[in-house]
Amino acid sequence: MAFREHMERVAGEVVGGFPADGGIYAVTFRIDSVDQDPRFPYVAIGYTTEADAAEATEKASDSWEARWSYAFFPETGLEGVRVVGRDPDGAESHRREAESRGIWYEDDDEPHDRDERLVEWFYEVCVETARHLHESGRIVQVLGRPVPVILYDMFDPDAMFRLTSDANPAALVTEFMTEDPG
């Protein structure tokens, strides 16, 4: 199974376990990697709720920050409900595909631009996985309505707006995109 297909399948399972009536207004994808090594990426899939945003309003500087900044996401949005990509099947298919793309390297190799290429490829897989959740109808099936998928990498905060915009229908991220510095 291709890495993207694995990610899409498991993401669908994760979203399928979300509480249907929990007031979820966004699915979250926290993009990360083991020890900041782009050869070992994962995404923590979670969610945030209206109640979480209301609670964060007291601490945040404004309503956008309370609702959309990962700094105010609850544990379900920050740590996620489940980590995907470092599971045995995900790790194996990721490495196999990275090798076939010529972007894998060993510890004693000079990475050259392969670090950046690995990161961009993983971003692409995460965007496609989020799109699949929309296009397959999985989000609506579970939550009863469309909600955005917010993709963020805490070590590259500027990527958040591009990734989230690419992963969602424009109408779902209008409010989120109001703070896009680009």
pLDDT tens digits for range 83-130:
999 999 999 999 999 999 999 999 999 999 999 999 999 999 999 999
| Across 137-163, average pLDDT | 96
Strand residues in 85-177 grouped as ranges (E): 149-152
Judge contact between 160 and 152, C-beta under 8 A: yes
pLDDT digits (tens, 9 = 90+) for 43-59: 999 999 999 999 999 99
Give, as one character, the DSSP assignment of residue 79.
T
Sequence length of the chain is 182
Between the alpha carbon of residue 72 and those of residues 48, 53, 55, 67, 103, the distances in Å are: 10, 8, 9, 8, 35
Domain count, the chain: 1
**Tokens 């994962």, located at residue:** 42
Structural domain includes residue 177: no
- What distance in Å separates the CA atoms of residue 81 and residue 19, rounded to the nearest whole number? 11
Does 154 fall in a domain? Answer: yes
The answer to whether 7 touches 126, Cβ cutoff 8 Å, is yes
49 falls within a domain: yes
> What's the rounded Cα separation, in Å, for the pair 115 and 60?
34
Once rounded to an integer, what is the mean pLDDT over residues 5-28? 96
Classify residue 180: in a domain, yes or no: no
Pairing of strands 24-33, 149-152: parallel
pLDDT at residue 14, as a whole number? 98
Q: What global pTM score does this model have?
A: 0.96
Distance CA 71, CA 94 (A): 29
Q: Is 179 a domain residue?
A: no
172 inside domain: no
Tokens of 52: 């979480």
Q: What share of the chain is helix, strand, coil (3-state, %, to 5)?
A: 50, 15, 35
Per the structure, the complete domain to which residue 36 belongs is given by: 3-167
Question: For residue 175, is it within any domain?
Answer: no
Residue 181 in domain: no
